[in-house]
Amino acid sequence: MISNLYYIGANALLNYQTAINVTGNNMANAETAGYSRRTVDFATRTTTDKYYGQVGNGSIIQAIRRNYDSYLEDQYLGQSADSTYWSTVTSNCTAIESLFVQVEDDGLSAVLDSLWTGFEALPSDPGGTANRTELLGTAESLTGMLNDLYADMRSEEERMNAEIRDQVNEVNDILGQLAEVNKGLVAHPENAGLQDKRSTLLTDLAEYVDIRTIEQEDGQITVQTLEGQTLVDGSKAYSFTVQGPRATASLTTTSGFDGAVYFEGSSNNELRIEFLTSGDTSGGAGAATFKVSTDGGNTWLSNDDGSVQTFTAGDIDHQVEVDGLSIWFGDSSDSSIPATTNIEAGDRFNVVPKTGVYWVKTTSNMVNVTPLEGASNRLSGGSLAGLLASRDEYLGEAQERMDALAASLIWEVNYAHSQGAGLSHHQSLLGTYEAEYTDRALSESGLSFAERLTGGSLSFALYDEDTGEALGITGVDFSGVVATDGNTYSTFDPSVHSLENVRDAINDTFPGQLTASITDDRLMLAAEDGYEFESAGDSTGLLAGLGLNTFFTGDDLESIAVNPDLLANPGRVNSAHVNGAGEVNQGDGTTALALAALRDTEITLSTTDWSMQGSLSECLATLVSKVGGDKAMAKTNFEVSFALAQDLYERQQSVAGVNVNEEVVNLTRLQDAYDAAAKLITTANEMFETVLSLKD
């Protein structure tokens, strides 16, 4: 019995030494990121049966347990991804807002207002150039601010794209490390150090992408995105990659189409093309038709009456314009060669006109995981998704809407200005807008403002070059021109008349007086010797659409500029108009007042999936406010998600974290137990000495 007592005490000393060592290690790692507190689990040794009962044999260390709650950890990882998503969006929305704050501080709204005031001031000095020169200076300031805003937004986009690439590399590195840890845990499934490293890596990963984990029986884990893409499976690590603009096909099993879809242009949206009818891709009567979605097929682009908008598949000479993109079909190896096989109803194509993030399933199979509203297989949490959403949903949306504002500003001013007259008559005018196809109906010609053209009449007034005498007003007669549909019409119709038709109609109407020609796909008007001309009324928008007698050039935020002809000759700024007698009166301010009235004119701004109404100034104020509202919304979401993540972190730390005060108390308790075990050995020794002394 004495030897057993000695054995119990000695074993207890060893046990408590181990427990003290574990406690000390906890204290030493109190500030170590990812460290989980260890606890020594004691168990009673098997007892010895005696006739009078069972005799204890002390304790053993059953396990050194790593304190960890997998349920709490999974909850925390999910909430952490949500928090970092909104943190990233908030940060980027703040940066986007600062761009708009800067242009507002520079006085964008005030300069826009000054533009209207400048037009209003023209009639006060109808024959002078001082007001015109001041107006042009204001217009240059306005266009410069808009150009700078575009450049700043592009810089933000480039910064985000660089961060996206960096984060993809960091994610791939973490995935590789997780696979290595998994490999180590197969050999040592209870290795707490490896388990801590794995937890740290998972925490780091959840800051980038939304994940879930599945623990395997051999100690390894499988890591997936919440959307189901496998990132780590045992010792195998998958990866993400960044790809530029691309298009992919998803054909029906019966489809024989072996061509490809091609596109040019830019858009912040992904386009899903789904064919409704079978046919060729010629753009003609037998061509297949398709519909387009910008939200992964949840909704489809529609007409004004709500019906689904359909498009006809064409080759490179019959491109379709959708959401800022020119789309066509061709040979799989050469976009300029028409496809030779037919498309089948149900065939689908995805057009991604931007840099995206893809999950690499195999070297030949990549899955687009760039966030897309309504799509269930895309990244939805973490800073990587936050960056992509910031770029596409927030920055892209802001730029798209500001482009719409710039386009409307250009059109409205040009439409009014093109109806007027300046200080001298024209001898020639060269349009500033090109038609990609001069022989096609202008509605399908690739002209920047083709969709704004309407059917109607166009007139010019002629003057004697030497005397200035008005020679009358004549409307352009289209009745002698064969339109693109093979018919003739007396007035202009953009759905059937081409740029070549417009040229021919003008030449037929004004033989020997006014000559129209096409130069570099632009319309040029030139008066014959002895004549000058003015525009005398245009209900079609042709002059504005072709860039004749206009104030601005360009068609968006990047390209808007003041017409260089006006800068070279301020007298070309129009204030007056041609009256019914074909005369231009110096004191007339009709055109100037029409331009000034644009300050309060209600317009409609629209993009593929958005529209608003109001004056240009009101629309600008709304867009600036929207950017601020986006930031405020993102900040609120971040604060809520961060609070939830912090609560889960604290709960997780209450299980796994080291509380130094508690460890000190535990250390004191273990020291007392160690002293007691030592006393037990001392007692056993004394008892043994007593027994030995009995021999004496």
Task: Give the DSSP letter string of 672-694.
Answer: HHHHHHHHHHHHHHHHHHHHHHT
SS3 call for 672: helix
Strand partners, 232: 223, 237
More confident residue, 202 or 7: 202
Distance of CA 693 to CAs 145, 444, 683, 686, 690, Å?
106, 119, 15, 10, 5
pLDDT above 80 for 138: yes
Torsion angles phi and psi, residue 404, rounded to 5? -65, -40
pLDDT above 90 for 9: no
List pLDDT tens digits, range 92-125. 999 999 999 888 777 899 999 999 999 999 999 9
Confidence (pLDDT) at 696:
58
Sign of CA dihedral 146, 150, 155, 159: positive
| Residue 1 binned pLDDT confidence (cut-offs 50, 70, 90) | low
d(C-alpha 596, C-alpha 120), whole Å: 5
SS3 call for 370: coil
Contact criterion met (CB below 8 Å) for 48 and 173: no
Confidence (pLDDT) at 89:
98
DSSP for 183-226 reads HHHHH-TT-HHHHHHHHHHHHHHHHHS-EEEEE-TTS-EEEEET
d(C-alpha 511, C-alpha 534), whole Å: 16
Confidence (pLDDT) at 212:
95
pLDDT above 80 for 441: yes
List pLDDT tens digits, range 601-658. 999 999 888 899 999 999 999 999 999 999 999 999 999 999 999 999 889 888 878 8
Centre a 10 Å sphere on the Cβ of residue 215 and count the other Cβ atoms it contains.
10
Q: Which of 51-60, 131-140, 641-650, 685-694 has the highest mean pLDDT?
A: 131-140
List pLDDT tens digits, range 338-386. 999 999 999 999 999 999 999 999 888 899 999 998 788 899 999 999 9
List pLDDT tens digits, range 281-315. 999 999 999 999 999 999 999 998 999 999 999 99
| Side-chain-facing half-sphere of 70: CA atoms under 13 Å | 7
* Amino acid identity at 372: L
Confidence (pLDDT) at 675:
84
d(C-alpha 331, C-alpha 336), whole Å: 7
Of 689, 677, 693, give the one whose Cα is nearest residue 5.
677
- DSSP character for 402? H
SS3 call for 614: strand
Q: Where are the alpha helices (DSSP H) in 437-498?
A: none
pLDDT above 90 for 414: yes
Q: List the single range of 467-476, 485-494, 673-682 with lowest mean pLDDT.
A: 673-682
Mean pLDDT, to the nearest integer, of 492-500?
98
Q: Name the packing angle between helices 130-187 and 192-208 (round to 10°).
A: 160
List pLDDT tens digits, range 245-268. 999 999 999 999 999 999 999 899
Contact criterion met (CB below 8 Å) for 430 and 515: no
Counting residues of the chain whose pLDDT is more than 90, the rounded percentage is: 76
- DSSP character for 125? S
> What are the structural domain ranges in the chain?
2-67+657-693, 246-354
Confidence (pLDDT) at 83:
97
Confidence (pLDDT) at 679:
84
What residues have CB less than 8 Å from 100, skipping those under 6 apart?
Answer: 149, 398, 623, 624, 627, 628
E-only strand ranges, 244-377: 246-250, 260-265, 271-275, 289-293, 311-312, 320-322, 325-330, 348-352, 356-362, 365-368
Sign of CA dihedral 423, 424, 426, 429: negative
Residue 216 has which token pair? Answer: 């395997």
Residue 676 has which token pair? Answer: 């007691």
Q: List the single range of 46-60, 436-450, 553-567, 645-659 with lowest mean pLDDT.
A: 46-60
Contact criterion met (CB below 8 Å) for 348 and 274: yes
